[in-house]
Structure 1
Amino acid sequence: MIPDLLTAGQFATVYNALSLVIAAQLFTAIFLVVSLPRVLARYRPAVTVALIVCGIAAYHYFRIFDSFTAAFTTDSVGGTGEYTQAVGVAFNEGYRYVDWLLTVPLLLVELVAVLALARAMQNRLLLQLVPASILMIALGYPGEVSGDLVVRTVFGILSTIPFLFILYVLFVQLSKSLALQPEAVRGTLSRLRFLLVLSWGVYPIAYLLPALDLGADGWVWKQVGYSIADIVAKAVYGLLIYQVAKTKSWLEDPKFAEHERPLVGSVRRVADLDKAA
């Protein structure tokens, strides 16, 4: 399924998409590390999982980037010509699935952790969501690496079954728990579920692109689609998890909120002074 030849434009598109994901994941992880003390201890596990997810993604995208640049080479000066597959080197799509096998279950752990539910309810949700997410990724991989359209379709359908179960848990069972959350964060938590589902919706589209027989263009846009989905599902999602954790921390502990607000106010005053100058 990997093309033998890429134009300079196609190579640059994938190159830049992978670079963008590395930057987004890495600096989101750094931001979350710095911001961890700004939430109460009970919400720090959720933020910690979010930064771990971004860290894992950054690491694997470094590996994907290295694999891509090693797999396609050119003899033209300045990289303006065509790129062909290097002899004895192949682009390793497996890095993505190793990443998803680790990060997709953790994304669901983030959501459950930031809700801070009773231990029994939390464990019940995790026992449903985590195995289903692992099964979803594991069933998708054989189809991803297969050049047989039938095999690709069969495993695509099989991986959809646990995906539908995850949707049921998120939008039916989890809805009862959202009603117990502070009103200030209910809307964000509800949108988090939709953000997760919408970003995951990019994966099957990218998964099916090679089946449309679009040649190198189909492969390139598959890589771009996966990259955009990973930024939304990990970096953006992680920042929203942090926002929920911070809001709940301030609502639950007024003293903690008063300690944090002067810091916010001082930053704003410095910004105002800079504008005035």
Structure 2
Amino acid sequence: MIAVPDPEQLGNIENIVSLTTGQYTTGSLILMVSYGAHFAFMLYFIMMSFQPAPRYRIVPILSAVVMASAGLSLLREYTLWQESYQFVGSMYLPLAEGETFTNAFRYGNWTITVPILLTQLAIAFALPRPELHVRSLRMIVPALLMIWTGLYGQFGEAGDWSQLNFWGVVSTLFFVWLIVEVRGVVKRGIALSPEPLKAWPSNIWWYFLATWGLYPIAYALPQLGFTGEVVVVRQLLYSIADVSSKLVYGLILSRYVLCRSAIEGYVPAAEALDTHPEASAIAASRGD
């Protein structure tokens, strides 16, 4: 007789919830679009890295690294999604041939990409080298603690709410610490930004809160019930958060350093902006 595994031992709710054809297909599309977008924009950031001034080129280059890392992680999630469900009757059943699904690869990817994303911010705002190192480290430490405690907590989402919620609270405390450190970098960014770009750091700050705030919602979502809708919506929230906090965030920072390069007199950057709305403000700031 084959023993039926305890749901709490299966880690993620994807391993205990059957999906309709529509839910399974939607989940597949979400993951496919997510990894496809990251791979596509990896090439964009590589090409874009030739436009800013040399001191800022590392910003789009780091975005390309983030795209590669996130794309590989999401491709792995997509492959697991395909392998861990089997169509039986009219439903897609989990644990196909004993294969389990896990969101842990997302956490592994965040361990790599989040320190890069935070360091990009300090580089884009042109913090002096010693301060850049110190402030980057002060952001990275709470960020990693937030990710690792969240990783441990998410293994309780299949029914061990005490584990899920306790470590969720601990992870949130580290997130608050991170927010305080990011706010300090943003304030320095406002002070160091050229006049036409003074509003950018504040806008990036609010964007940071909005996009990173999706992760704890997705983390806590399994408590609403073990249903196909919860499974799909959570994958959607995670993917929206990943695309917005990595891909779109990279676009914003790359645009910022391009404008900054033009203001500081770097001709290729000014030429790249010549047909865009920022050009007039930049020209006015330079007295052109």
Fold shared per TM-score above 0.5: yes
Which residue does 2:4 correspond to in 1? Answer: none
Which residue does 2:124 correspond to in 1? Answer: 114
Q: How does 1:99-248 map to 2 (within 5 A)?
A: 99-146=109-156, 147=158, 148-172=160-184, 174-248=186-260
CA RMSD of aligned residues (A): 1.8
Is the 8 Å Cα contact of residues 203 and 226 (structure 1) preserved in structure 2? yes
**Separation in structure 2 between the aligned mates of residue 11 and residue 134 of structure 1, nearest angstrom:** 32
Q: Name the amino acid aligned to 2:175.
A: F
SS of 1:5's equivalent in the other structure is: coil
SS of 1:87's equivalent in the other structure is: helix
**Separation in structure 2 between the aligned mates of residue 155 and residue 104 of structure 1, nearest angstrom:** 19
1:130-182 CA distances to partner (integer Å, 9 max, x unpaired)?
Answer: 11111110010111112310010000000011110111122245313422211
**TM-score calculated relative to the size of structure 1:** 0.88
124-133 or 207-216, larger mean C-alpha shift: 207-216
Q: 1:161 to 1:15 in 2, by over 3 A?
A: same
Q: Name the amino acid aligned to 1:200.
A: W
**Separation in structure 2 between the aligned mates of residue 16 and residue 197 of structure 1, nearest angstrom:** 27
Q: 1:66 to 1:253 in 2, by over 3 A?
A: same
Which residue does 2:28 correspond to in 1? Answer: 15
Shift of 1:83: 0.5
Which residue does 1:39 correspond to in 2? Answer: 52
Shift of 1:214: 4.5
1:85-121 CA distances to partner (integer Å, 9 max, x unpaired)?
Answer: 2021011221111111111121111111111111121
Is the 8 Å Cα contact of residues 259 and 269 (structure 2) preserved in structure 1? no
Q: Which 5+ residue runs of structure 1 have no aligned equivalent?
A: 266-277
**Separation in structure 2 between the aligned mates of residue 36 and residue 257 of structure 1, nearest angstrom:** 11
Give the structure with the larger helix fraction. 1
Aligned match of 1:82 in 91, 99, 123? 91
Is the 8 Å Cα contact of residues 60 and 95 (structure 1) preserved in structure 2? yes
**Separation in structure 1 between the aligned mates of residue 267 and residue 67 of structure 2, nearest angstrom:** 31
2:107 is the alignment partner of 1:94? no
Which residue does 1:272 correspond to in 2? Answer: none
Aligned match of 1:63 in 66, 76, 84? 76
190-199 or 200-209, larger mean C-alpha shift: 190-199
**Separation in structure 1 between the aligned mates of residue 198 and residue 249 of structure 2, nearest angstrom:** 15
Q: 1:250 to 1:167 in 2, by over 3 A?
A: same
Shift of 1:193: 1.9
SS of 1:117's equivalent in the other structure is: coil
Q: 1:212 to 1:245 in 2, by over 3 A?
A: same
Which residue does 2:285 correspond to in 1? Answer: none
Is the 8 Å Cα contact of residues 28 and 51 (structure 1) preserved in structure 2? yes
2:53 is the alignment partner of 1:50? no
Q: How many residues align?
A: 260
Is the 8 Å Cα contact of residues 17 and 226 (structure 2) preserved in structure 1? no
Q: Which 5+ residue runs of structure 2 have no aligned equivalent?
A: 1-12, 277-288
SS of 2:93's equivalent in the other structure is: strand
**Separation in structure 2 between the aligned mates of residue 126 and residue 26 of structure 1, nearest angstrom:** 26
Q: Name the amino acid aligned to 1:198.
A: A
Shift of 1:257: 4.1
Q: 1:184 to 1:211 in 2, by over 3 A?
A: same
**Separation in structure 1 between the aligned mates of residue 269 and residue 258 of structure 2, nearest angstrom:** 9
**TM-score calculated relative to the size of structure 2:** 0.85
